[in-house]
Structure 1
Amino acid sequence: MEETAGGLGGQAVCVLTSGGLDSGVLIAALAREYTAVQPVYVRCGLFWEHAERYWLQRFLRRLRRTHQNIQPLKTLSMDLREIYGDHWSLTGQNVPDYDSDDFEVYLPGRNIILLAKTAVFCVLRGIPTIATAPLSANPFPDGTPQFFQHLQDVLSEGMAASLSVRTPFRHLSKPEVIRMGRDLPLELTFSCICPQERLHCGACGKCAERIKAFYEAGIADRTIYKRRPAPLRHVG
């Protein structure tokens, strides 16, 4: 399993994207390495997906002005309602707030679901590589190097294919990713789990993470927030 951005090669890559900062910067980075980049979004019925897909399409349109090798977005579907039930991620109720910790926003098994479906899509279309964008601070069990290595092996064996799952940003922090993408339209990426009128709410746990990362990166945050907390609240 390739772990560093510099080692990526080949002709085509599929980027599993959420429309957030990390996967957005990854798409742009891999567009300089690969002949073709296929962004894939898996729609699961989550509360924020309508806004997320709106901003993702805008971001990709902007990227394609300079990177014509980025293919049109492919959207797959995987309904999580039978699994998650009345979970906050589906209902939009009691969403983890600004001061919540990482594990309050964790969606159990989501990476397994997203990668499994994307892997079948890739194998059937002859795309040998999936790239995804977990960062160094990812604390979840389905975000570790061991997880991605084992899943790569299982998916390859299960489909009798040589499939590579790559995590080029796993040594980077979110502020480092923001600095890497400082020339990109990062205001068109989307991180919110409680959007209001397609805007970042400015009050949920993911908005807090985003605002703090821009502050620590020393990069101006051009994101439009419905409610913008005081900057000093994010320090430390």
Structure 2
Amino acid sequence: MAVETLIRENWTVIGSTAELRILFSGGIESAVLMGEAIEAGLEPIPVYVATGTRWENTELKSANIYLETLEVGLSDKIIIRKYIPGDVEKHWAYNKGGYPLAKEDVQTLEISGRNETLLREVVSFGEDDQKLILVIGTTADNPFKDGDRQFYSEMETTLSAQRRARVTILTPLKGLTKSDVIKRGKRFPLGLTLSCVAPLNGKACGVCIKCASRTAAFLTAEVIDKYEMEELNES
């Protein structure tokens, strides 16, 4: 079965009594997922989990601007969950020091336990007996242990046990690379998304490992990156 067909069928399957929550960061992957869900006639709830990373202020602003362009009234409905880890103060993502540059190993991006933290926060509100479907934009490019199907299956079991209703985790983009996702979602305003670990004055830095990955992915996809973040101001 083609990946494209599988993704479309996922959106059809989740049109049920379960509440659909998308882990929404304003990045390329979650932006495409949000757009697809809306196109499918669903009512996704965008959830942004703030953990104190250095890129959050700019990222959250870009996320809201992207939602506004979809013109479905979601911009005032983005749910922000705050969770500040207590054991990562020395990690580069939580301070203003150095950060991974373009040619550094992708392993430098790892934040231990991050996906577990995000998923736990996404289910931490609402009625315990409400069935939930969580959608996360992990792709084939993710090399970390908390990005494989076994991890998500285990999290489904754990989170369901904490509630009185089933929690299902979908990863519709798992078989795709970032460039595949760009090609698939090029009809959406991807120029409003952010892919940067060290935004400066409201714009992507252009030299970090995430900026380099984005540039390479757009080139591979043969899609022009219409990056439009000039109006944002990092605070």
Tell whether the structures are fold-level matches, with TM greater than 0.5. yes
Separation (CA, whole Å) in 2 of partners of 1:99 and 1:178? 22
Using the TM superposition, give the Cα deviation of residue 183 of structure 1 relative to its aligned residue in structure 2, in angstroms: 1.3
Q: What is the CA–CA distance in structure 1 between the aligned matches of 2:178 and 2:45, rounded to whole Å?
A: 23
Structure 1 unaligned blocks of 5 or more = 227-236
Show CA shifts across 1:63-104 (max 9, x none). Answer: 1x2x45787211010012x22012110113110011112101
CA distance in 1: counterparts of 2:223 and 2:101, whole angstroms: 24
- Find the counterpart in structure 2 of residue 21 from structure 1: 28
Task: List aligned pairs for 1:66-145, cutoff 5 A.
Answer: 67=72, 72-80=77-85, 82-121=86-125, 123-124=127-128, 126=130, 128-145=132-149
- Name the stretch that deviates more: 200-209 or 11-20: 11-20
What TM-score, normalized to structure 1? 0.87
Matched with 1:148 is 152
The count of residues paired between Structure 1 and Structure 2 equals 221
Q: How much does 1:17 deviate?
A: 1.3
The answer as to whether partners of 1:13 and 1:34 remain within 8 angstroms in 2 is no
Q: Secondary structure at the match of 1:83?
A: coil
Q: Which moved more, 1:7-16 or 1:93-102?
A: 7-16
Please list the CA deviations of residues 98-117 of structure 1 after superposition, one character each: whole Å capped at 9, or x if unmatched.
11121011111000001011
Shift of residue 180, structure 1, vs aligned partner:
1.2
Deviation at 1:35, TM superposition (A): 3.0
Partner residue in 1 for 2:227:
223
Provide the rounded CA distance (Å) in 2 between the counterparts of 1:47 and 1:142: 21
Q: CA deviation at 1:18?
A: 1.5
Partner-residue secondary structure (3-state), 2:80: strand
Stretch deviating more after TM superposition (128-137 or 8-17): 8-17
Distance change in 2, residues 1:209/1:113 (3 Å): same
Cα distance change on mapping 1:70 and 1:201 into 2, 3 Å: closer
Structure 1 residues 160 and 91: alpha-carbon distance in aligned structure 2, compared to 1, 3 A threshold: same
- Compute the RMSD of aligned alpha carbons: 2.0
In structure 2, list runs of 5 or more residues that go unmatched. 231-235
Does structure 1 residue 50 correspond to structure 2 residue 53? no
- 8 Å CA contact 2:46–2:77 kept in 1: the answer is yes
Partner in structure 1 of residue 39 of structure 2: 32
Amino acid across the alignment from 2:68: R
TM-score, structure 2 normalization? 0.88
Identity, % of aligned positions = 29
